[in-house]
């Protein structure tokens, strides 16, 4: 099972080949839906003209940041090493990337509010995106705990 530790100021993430493969699969399946999830994020401005300008000038930079974060994750997973040693900056890239992937999974599941877990049907829990959401959430929590230690 995956484990996350902090040693000598670095985050050590241990993933076996199946876990790395599963994360690469999740990345491949959800990254195309990130832009859909971005459409569900709160607006920066109530004014449509101002929001349009924001989307025109700022959104591309935000999307490049997400792409870079996902590239950091993909590169580490693609190296094939069971033990991944991440700098603090790389760990934060993983957290940001996981957050975007989780937003994409939530968008595909139709989740829009906090507290959805209590009302989640068995049908929703059976969807692959639900498992992806849970796995990413667990790893995200472990990374945060390691960074705080």
- Per run of 10 residues, the mean pLDDT along the chain (length 149 residues) is 84 92 94 71 81 83 86 90 89 93 89 72 84 93 91
> Does residue 93 sit within a domain?
yes
Residue 36, pLDDT score: 64
Q: Is residue 27 a part of any domain in this protein?
A: no
Is residue 55, in this structure, part of any structural domain at all? yes
How high is the pLDDT of residue 39?
A: 58
* Domain span at 9: 3-17+34-148
Tally of domains in the chain = 1
Examine residue 11 and state whether it is found in any structural domain, yes or no. yes
DSSP per-residue codes, 55-84: HHHTHHHHHHHHHHHHHHHHHHHHT--SEE
Paired residues of 13 in beta bridges? 4, 84
Position 37 scores a pLDDT of 60
Q: Do the domain assignments include residue 134?
A: yes
What predicted TM-score, i.e. pTM, was given to this entire model? 0.84
Q: Looking up tokens 């935000």, which residue turns up? A: 62
Determine the Cα–Cα distance for residues 29 and 107; give it in Å rounded to an integer: 13
- Residues 40 and 113: their CA atoms lie apart, in Å, by 11
| Residue 97 domain-assigned (yes or no) | yes
H runs (alpha helix) in 2-127: 17-30, 34-39, 48-57, 59-78, 88-109, 122-125
């Amino acid at each position: 099972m995956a484990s996350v530790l902090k040693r000598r100021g670095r985050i050590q993430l241990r993933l076996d080949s199946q876990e790395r493969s599963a994360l690469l699969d999740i990345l491949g399946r959800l990254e195309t839906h990130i832009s859909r999830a971005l459409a569900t994020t709160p607006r920066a401005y109530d004014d449509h003209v101002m929001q349009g300008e924001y989307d025109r000038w700022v959104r591309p930079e935000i999307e490049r940041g997400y792409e870079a974060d996902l590239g950091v994750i993909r590169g580490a997973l693609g190296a094939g090493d069971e033990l991944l040693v991440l700098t603090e900056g790389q760990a934060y890239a993983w957290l940001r990337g996981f957050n975007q992937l989780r937003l994409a999974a939530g968008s595909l599941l139709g989740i829009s509010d906090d507290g959805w877990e209590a009302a989640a049907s068995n049908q929703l829990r059976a969807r692959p995106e639900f498992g992806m959401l849970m796995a990413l959430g667990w790893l995200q929590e472990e990374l945060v705990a390691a960074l705080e230690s």
